[in-house]
Chains A and B, each alone.
Chain A
C-alpha cells in the first residue's frame, strides 16, 4: 500500500523539486533570462500535455485542435493584460484577471466542442476538433487591428517578466492537482470506463454525456490557462503560432510520454521543448527542419513498436517493467485489467463479451477459474 501512495505523489514531487531548485537559483541570480524563457516554455508545454492527456489518454477521444483552446486563452489573456497592466501597473494582478477570463472563455469553447463529441466518434470527432482549431485561428487572424491585432498579431505590454516561470510552474502544479484528482475520483473511473467501452459504460449507468463534456471542458480550461501564460511570456501573440502543427506537437508529446501516463507526459514535454529550443538555436536555416524529421521518425517508430500486434511477443520479452520485476521481490501481476490508471493492454473485450463458451476443454476451464476459487 505504501508503494502506491508514493506513486500518487510522484508528479507533484517531480515538478515541486524542479520548481524549488530553479526558484532558489533564480533568487541567487544564477539563472539567465534565456534559461528562464526555456523554463516558461517547458511549464506551458507541461500544462498542455497534461490537459490533452485527459482527453486523449483518459477519455480516449482524439483531439487535434488543442492549440485552438490555447489560442483563445492567449488572445484574451493578451488583450486583458494590455488593458489592465497600464491601469494597475502590476503584472501579477492583471495575470490573475487574465487567467480567469482566458480560462473561462476556453472552457466555454471546450463545451461547444464537447457538444459534437456526444454524437460523433473517433475519426469524425478528430476532424471536428481540427476544424475548430482552424476556425479559431482564422477568426483571430482576420480580426481588426484595434480588437485583436489582426494579421500582425496582438502586442502584449512590457512589464517585468522576471520570476514569471515560477508562476508557470505553480500553474503546472494546479493542473496536475485538478487532473489527477479528477482521474482518481469516481468521476475519473467513469471517464476511463467510457474510454474502454462506451456501450458497457452506458449500460452500467454512467452518464456518458456528462463525463465527455467534463473531460473536454477541463482540458480546454487548462489549455486556456496555458495560452494566457504564453501571452505573458511573449512580446507578441500571433495566430500563426497556433496552427495545426502545434496541435500535432502536443499530441506527439502525449504519445511519447505514453497515453494516460501523466509522469511520462511531463517528462516528454520537458524533453521535447528542450530539444526544440536547442536544435533551433544550433541548426542553421533549412536544416532546422531536421528537427521535424526526427519527430516524425520517433513518432512512427514509437507507435508502430508499441502497438503492432506482430511485435507483441517481442515487446513482452523486453518490457522494461518485466525486466525490473525480476529484481524486485513482489512481482507485478501481468494482468493489468484491474488497473484503471493505465490503458489496459492485456484485457480482451471481445473475449469477455463473446458468447462462445468452450465446454470440453479442461485447459481453458482451469485458466478461466479465478485464483481465489477452490
Chain B
C-alpha cells in the first residue's frame, strides 16, 4: 500500500514535470533551441501568485498565467528572435543569460529570502489506511487534462498543425502561407502558460518560493524532456511521468534519498548512451 501511495505521488510530481517539459520540447521542436530560461518562468509565475493572492486565489492564478505568457513572448521577441539563423551555441548562451536575468530581477524585487505562499489548504483524502493529499489528486487530474488537451490541440487544430509543419520544415511551411514568426510566438506563449500552471502546483505541494525556485525543476523537466526525446510531445509526457515516479521512489528509501538527484541524472546519461535521441525521439539523419 505504501508503494501505491508513492506511485500516485510520483505520477502527480511527474505530471508537473511533464507540463514543464512540454514547454521545453515544443520550443525545441519548433524553434530548434533550448529555452534555458523556461525554468525561471515558473519562478515568475510563483511570484505573481504571491503578489495577487491577497485579492483572490483564482485571480492570482489567472494573473500568473497571463503575466507568464507575456514574459515568454517578450523573451522570445527581445532575446531569441534577433538570433534566428545564428549558431545554436549563441542562442543557448543567450538563453542562459535570460535565465540569469530573471533570477536576479526577482531577487532585487522580492529579496533572496524564501516567501510563503499558501494558496489553499486542501487537506487529505483518507481511504482506510491510505492518505493522499487532495492537492496531489488535483495536480494529477489537471496535468492529465492539460497533456491530453495539448495533444489534441496540436493534432487537430489549425494552429497545432501549423506548429507540426513549422517543426518539420520551416521554409516549406512559410511557402504554404504559415506565418512562422507567429507560430513560434504562440509556442512560447503556450509553454510559458504551462510553466505558470506548474508553479501553481508546485506551490500547492510546498508553499514557499525563492528566486531560484524554478532552477532545479527546470533542469529536471529538461532532463525529462531529453529522456523522452526532445521535440516529441508524447516523449515529454512519458519522460516527465517516469522521472516523477523515479524521484518519489528514490526519496521513499532513506538510504538512497540524498542521492535522488544523482540517480535521476545518471538515468539520463545511461538512456542517452543507449538511445541518443531519447526514448521516443526520432533519429534525424544529417545531410551534407
Which residues of A line the B interface, CB within 8 A?
Answer: 56, 60, 62, 64, 115-116, 119-120, 122-124, 126-128, 130-132, 134-135, 138-139, 141-142, 199-200, 244, 248, 251, 255, 259, 286-287, 289-290, 292-293, 295-297, 299-300, 303-304, 306-311, 353
The smallest C-beta distance from B75 to any residue of chain A, in angstroms, reads 10
> Which of chain A's residues has its CB closest to B102's CB?
A296
A-B contacts besides A122-B89, A293-B108, A303-B94, 16 pairs, CB < 8 Å:
A60-B89, A116-B269, A123-B88, A124-B277, A128-B268, A128-B272, A131-B269, A135-B261, A135-B262, A139-B259, A259-B89, A292-B100, A296-B100, A296-B104, A303-B97, A307-B86
Residues of B within 8 A of A251 (CB): 93, 96
Complex CA distance for A115 and B107, rounded to whole angstroms? 38
CB pair B269–A128 under 8 Å, yes or no, is yes
In the complex, per-residue mask of B174-197: 1 if CB is within 8 Å of any chain A CB, else 0: 000000000000000000000000
Given known contacts A138-B258, A251-B96, A304-B79, A297 and B101 CB-to-CB distance under 8 angstroms: yes
- Determine how close the nearest CB of chain B comes to the CB of A286; give it in whole angstroms: 6
Contacts of B273 in A (CB 8 A): 115-116, 119
* Smallest CB separation, B50 vs chain A (Å): 17
Neighbour of B222 across the interface among A115, A116, A127, A311, CB < 8 A: A127
Report whether over half of chain A's contact residues are helix, strand or loop; otherwise say mixed: helix
Docked-complex contact B230 and A123, CB < 8 angstroms? yes
Cα A141 to Cα B262 with chains together (Å)? 11
* Distance between Cα atoms of A8 and B140 in the complex (Å): 61
A296 and B83 contact, Cβ closer than 8 Å, known pairs A134-B262, A290-B108: no
Q: Tell me whether B86 and A308 are in contact (CB under 8 A).
A: yes
On chain B, the residues within 8 Å of A200 by CB distance are 288
Given the complex of chains A and B, what is the CA–CA distance between A132 and B266 in angstroms? 8
Q: How far is the CB of A127 from chain B (nearest CB, A)?
A: 5
| A64, B93: Cα distance in complex, Å | 10
Task: With CB as the reference atom, state the residue of chain B lying closest to A60.
Answer: B89
Cβ of B200 under 8 Å from chain A: no
Contact B269 A286 (CB under 8 A): no
Shortest Cβ distance from residue B81 to the other chain A in the assembled complex, whole angstroms: 9
Once the chains bind, are B107 and A131 in contact (CB under 8 Å)? no
What is the distance, in angstroms, from A115's C-beta to the closest C-beta of chain B? 8
B100: contacting residue among A135, A138, A248, A255, CB under 8 A: A248
Q: Is the CB of A299 within 8 A of B96?
A: yes
Chain A's closest residue to B88 (CB) is: A122
The interface residues of chain B lying within 8 Å CB-to-CB of A131 are 223, 265-266, 268-269
With a CB–CB cut-off of 8 A, which chain A residues contact B268?
Answer: 127-128, 131
Q: B94: which of A244, A290, A299, A353 is its contact (CB, 8 Å)? A: A299
Residue among A122, A135, A311 facing the most chain B CB atoms (10 A cut-off): A135
User: How far does the Cβ of B27 sit from chain A's closest Cβ, in whole Å?
Assistant: 12
Is the CB–CB distance between A123 and B92 below 8 Å? yes
In the complex formed, the residue of A with least CB distance to B287 is A199
Contact at A286–B112, with CB atoms within 8 Å? yes
In the complex, the answer to whether A135 meets B101 with C-beta atoms within 8 Å is no
Please give, as numbers and ranges, the residues of chain A lying within 8 Å of B107 by CB-CB distance: 286, 289, 292
Can you spell out 27 A-B residue pairs with CB atoms less than 8 angstroms apart? A56-B89, A119-B272, A120-B272, A123-B28, A123-B88, A123-B92, A124-B272, A126-B34, A127-B222, A127-B268, A128-B272, A131-B266, A134-B219, A138-B261, A139-B259, A200-B288, A259-B89, A289-B112, A292-B104, A296-B97, A300-B79, A300-B94, A300-B101, A304-B94, A307-B90, A308-B82, A309-B84
Using known A-B contacts A131-B265, A292-B100, A307-B87, determine if residue A244 contacts B219 with beta carbons closer than 8 Å.
Answer: yes
**Residue among B96, B105, B219, B272 with the most chain A CB within 10 A?**
B96
Q: Do B92 and A296 touch (CB < 8 A)?
A: no
Contacts of A120 in B (CB 8 A): 272, 276
Distance between A62 CB and nearest chain B CB, rounded to angstroms: 6
CB distance from B243 to the nearest CB of A (A): 12
In the bound assembly, the distance between CA atoms of A310 and B83 in angstroms comes to: 8
B287 to chain A, nearest CB (A): 9
Chain A residues with CB under 8 Å of B288's CB are 199-200, 353
Residues of chain B within 8 A (CB-CB) of A116 are 269, 272-273
The contact string, 1 if C-beta is below 8 Å from chain A, for chain B 242-279, is 00000000000000001101100110110011001100
Going nearest first, the 5 A-B pairs with the smallest beta carbon separation are: A299-B97, A131-B265, A296-B101, A296-B100, A307-B90
Least Cβ–Cβ distance between B265 and chain A, in angstroms: 4
Q: Tell me the complex Cα distance, A115–B274, Å.
A: 12
Question: Restricting to B67-99, which residues have a CB under 8 Å from any CB of A?
Answer: 79, 82-90, 92-94, 96-98
Residue B215 interfacial (CB < 8 Å): yes
Contacts A135-B262, A138-B262, A309-B85; is A303 near B108 (CB within 8 Å)? no
Q: Is the CB of B79 within 8 A of A130?
A: no
Contact A139 B222 (CB under 8 A): no
Alpha-carbon gap, A139 to B79, bound state (A): 36
Query: Which residues of B sit under 8 angstroms from A297, Cβ to Cβ?
Result: 97, 101
Partner among B104, B261, B272 whose Cβ is within 8 Å of the Cβ of A134: B261
**For the complex, is B169 an interface residue (Cβ under 8 Å from A)?**
no
Contacts of B266 in A (CB 8 A): 131, 135
User: B226 contacts the other chain (Cβ, under 8 Å)?
Assistant: yes
Report the separation of the CA atoms of residues A116 and B288 in the bound assembly, to the nearest whole angstrom.
23
Smallest Cβ distance from B223 to chain A, in angstroms?
7
Please state if B265 and A303 are interface contacts (CB–CB under 8 Å). no
Q: Which residues of B contact A300 (CB under 8 A)?
A: 79, 94, 97-98, 101
Q: With A and B bound together, what is the CA distance between A319 and B288 in angstroms?
A: 32
Q: Select A139's contact among B90, B94, B103, B262, beta carbons within 8 Å.
A: B262
Nearest CB in chain B: distance from A187 CB, A: 22
Residues 23-62 (chain B) with a chain A CB within 8 angstroms: 28, 34
A94 → B minimal CB distance (Å): 30
Residues in chain A near residue B87, CB distance under 8 A: 307
CB atoms of B82 and A311 under 8 A apart: yes
Q: Which residue of B lies closest to A112 (CB)?
A: B269
Complex contact A255–B86 (CB within 8 A): no
| Cβ B82 vs Cβ A310 within 8 A | yes
Residue on A nearest B265 in the bound complex, by CB = A131
In the complex, which residue of chain A has the Cβ closest to the Cβ of B226?
A: A127
